[in-house]
Structures are given as C-alpha cells and as structure tokens.
Amino acid sequence: MRIRYLYPIALLTLFVAFVTCGGAIFGYNISDYHEQVAPEKQYTYVSRYAELSEHDSHFRDAAGIIGYDWTLIAAIAFTESRFDSTAVSSAGATGIMQVMPNTLRGFNIPDSMHMDARTNIFAATELLRSLDKRFRHVKDPAERINFVLASYNAGYGHILDAMRFAKREGKDRFVWENNVDTFLILKSRPEYYNDTLCRNGKFEGWRETLQFVSKVQRNWKRFKRTQQLYSDSISRLVESDSTFRLME
C-alpha cells in the first residue's frame, strides 16, 4: 500500500473511534449533543370575571343576546331565588329566575325543563327582551330598566294602568319613582281599580313589586361594584406580572 493512502485511513479510523468510544474517553457521546432550547414559558390563566355564582356563564350568554349587563341578570336571579334553580314560589313561579309555568310553556319549553338553570335563565331573558321592547318609548335607559323590572314582577298590564293614571293626573309617566309607582299603589283602592282607565283590575301586590325593583337595583349595584373591583385588580396583576394571562 502506498504511503499517501495511510493518512486518510488513519484519520477515518480515529473518527470512528471518537464516535464509538468518545463517551468512555472524553466523558460524553457525540450522539447526546443537541442544541439547547429555552424552556417554554409557563402561564397562569385567570378569569376576567368575578365569580358571582355557578351560573355566571349562562347569565353572560343570555345578557349578550339582549344587550344587557350580565350582572343585572344575575341580580334578578339572586333577588328571585338566591341562585336556587330548584326554587318554587307560593304563586307557582319556578326555577332560578322564578318564571311562571305558563310563560315557560309559551316559549315551548316542556315542563321537565322548567327547573333547568340555563333554560330558565334564557326564558327569563326572552321575557325581559319582550318587556324592554314594550317600554321602548321610555327613552331613558336607566328608567326603562325600572319599568321592565316592575313588569317582570307585577305584569305589564298593571304597570301600563299606573302609567295611564300618572299621565292623567299630571305626573311623569316615564319616571318610575314617586310617579308611576305611586299609582301602582293606588290600584289597590276601589276608586282607582274601578276607574274606566284601569283595564287590568285591582292590584294588591304593590309592596312586593316596589321592593323587587329596589332590591334588584341594589343587588345590581353591588354586583357591578364587585365586578369592577375584581377587574381592576386583575388588570393590575396582568400588567405587573408577564406570567399571568386572561382566560377568554
């Protein structure tokens, strides 16, 4: 063999020995070498909403349909049933939103689903949407909510009667407190419920209705404040710590 072939053969032999025995000779194996990759960053995901109940996602979905604040729907549910989906009132109203069975059947909801929380919430939302449309002539959105809530509790007809009396007697029929609510009270008196202007008869449940409107408004304010405080604190957390992310 010529000498000029010995060098390449020797080099090849050394390379094979390095690959196969390098771990024993040098303490590592060339096959174990790989490019170092930075570990994937771990994030902690936090909710963008303060939790009010286990039904919050239903409140948000339903509110989105009619453009209401979801905490208002939650406030109605809390006032009606304390978020109890099995609640039944003495008048027969059922579920978390205390909807009357005839109303639920009017939405083609079978009796077996009346207590289902999501179904009950969405049925109540449809009722709220219907009432909101009926009171579209109440231009102030905040005032309209009062009329919707009063009708949700007492029925649209009784509130309409009270508005007629308010108009006749020089009060603002588009303002609830100290105007229309006064005439809802008076509908419990013979001189009013026997008046030809009264088309829906006597109404004795005015105390409950006035309290309902007041309680829902109070609970709504409380829930909105809770949500705002939570939202502010979460925003500060996400801004100050890059490992936190908001859940969609």
For position 204, what pLDDT does the model report? 97
CATH number of the domain bearing residue 182: 1.10.530.10
SS (H, E, C) 45-89: EECCCCCCCCCHHHHHHHHHHHCCCHHHHHHHHHHHHCCCCCCEC
Residue 109 in contact with residue 129, Cβ under 8 Å? no
The answer to whether position 245 is within a domain reads: no
Q: Which two tokens stand for residue 234?
A: 């979460």
Q: 244 in a domain, yes or no?
A: no
**Closest Cα to residue 219, out of 89, 74, 63?**
74
On whether both 110 and 210 belong to a single domain, the answer is yes
- pTM surpassing 0.85? no
Number of domains in the chain: 2
Phi-psi region of 27 (alpha: psi -120 to 50; beta: other; left: phi over 0): left
**pLDDT profile of the chain (248 residues), mean per 10:** 54 55 51 57 83 97 96 98 96 96 96 97 97 98 98 98 98 98 98 98 98 98 96 85 75
**Residues spanned by the domain of 182:** 49-237
Q: Are residues 32 and 53 in the same domain?
A: no
Q: What is the pLDDT of residue 46?
A: 82
- Tell me whether residue 143 is one of the annotated catalytic residues: no
The Cα 188–Cα 51 span in angstroms is 41
User: What kind and span of H or E run contains 146?
Assistant: helix 141-154
Active-site residue identified among 35, 40, 51, 80: 80
Residues 109 and 167 in one domain: yes
pLDDT at 30: 47
Give the per-residue pLDDT at 113. 97
Whether residues 167 and 217 fall in one domain = yes
Q: What pLDDT shows up at residue 235?
A: 85
